[in-house]
Structure 1
């Protein structure tokens, strides 16, 4: 069946280095080596996410490897690269992680975010945010609205901070934006709800 591809979807344009900002929306961190190079890294929950992120990074020309973090979870890390320096300058304020001024999400960034930390949660979908960078949470939630996916932060009783997307139409839009799941990611991809469950 033919379907219309949104201008903002992950399939609307070829993969580019800018898409890696989606990893920074979730658990990703950017570290610089002086003013000469920077490296993107992310500690994630499942091995399939590590494999998928490595593939997606390499598609964008950024070689990445999987290591073992001190906590025992997979760590995806690029090498230090000159072309990652702009991420370091935009996504940090002093020593703190920060959302750049004027930041605009794309479907490709959102796909990277879902791979790094997206999960189905009942009739909703959660996008993990960095628990060590609370100042980024509200701005990241707001960045979803222009894509047609208004969302909200989970309350303080949540086990981990995350942005929650609810409602059939919003989930349909989210699924269209991020495209089809890569092998092994099906269980963590947004599920489409029947019309009677629309929220």
Structure 2
């Protein structure tokens, strides 16, 4: 029987800011509407349906409307409805049309869970949190944010199509596992979830 950590994602009340973990991965936020009625939408393309379903659950927990669709390449796509409450996140995470990491951003348990759902995968005895290959300027800032929460990663694959933060070592992996909580019930999710 596993004991639930006080710091894990299950012990933290849901908030819209949790979804910024999607932006740490390859998620996007776009402003929609004019000056009078402006909202924003968060979206991310993932490689497995269980990831989209897990993120849709987090979106619903944050009191937003989730939608799961498919891209033209038949990859699962999960997104929020357009909502005025996402405008602040859009302002913090973009400079012009470029995705950026807010200087004060720290990945808490639920942000780490969203990031893991969007782009986490095991690599032997290490764990990778995928980064956005189209936003290389975010990579170092995200590595620094992880260091500030006590999970020092190694930045890998920056010249390829699958950049990631590699987390290795028992203590760092334990901290990640403790934060992200239990995997979704899907058997593939269990295989892909971080463990020590």
TM-score (norm 2): 0.91
Determine the structure 2 residue equivalent to 1:179: 181
**Which ranges of structure 1 fall in alignment gaps of 5 or more residues?**
193-199
Give the CA deviation at 1:191: 2.1
1:1-199 matches, within 5 Å, as 3=3, 5-7=5-7, 9-33=8-32, 34-35=34-35, 36-156=38-158, 160-184=162-186, 185-192=189-196
| CA offset digits 1:23-54 (Å, max 9, x no partner) | 11001100001341000010111111111111
3-state SS in 2 of match to 1:149: coil
Note closer, same or farther for the CA distance 1:21–1:156 as it changes in structure 2 (3 Å cut).
closer
Task: Say whether the 8 Å CA contact 2:106–2:149 is kept in structure 1.
Answer: no
Q: Which runs of 4+ in 1 moved over 2 A?
A: 1-7, 155-159
Query: What SS does structure 1 have at the residue aligned with 2:79?
Result: strand
Count of matched residue positions in the alignment of Structure 1 and Structure 2: 191
Q: d(CA) in 1 for partners of 2:53 and 2:95?
A: 30
Deviation at 1:56, TM superposition (A): 1.3
Rounded Cα–Cα distance in structure 1 between residues aligned with 2:46 and 2:63 = 21
- Give RMSD over aligned pairs: 1.6
Alpha-carbon shift at residue 11 of structure 1 (Å) = 3.0
> What is the TM-score when the length of structure 1 is the normalising length?
0.90
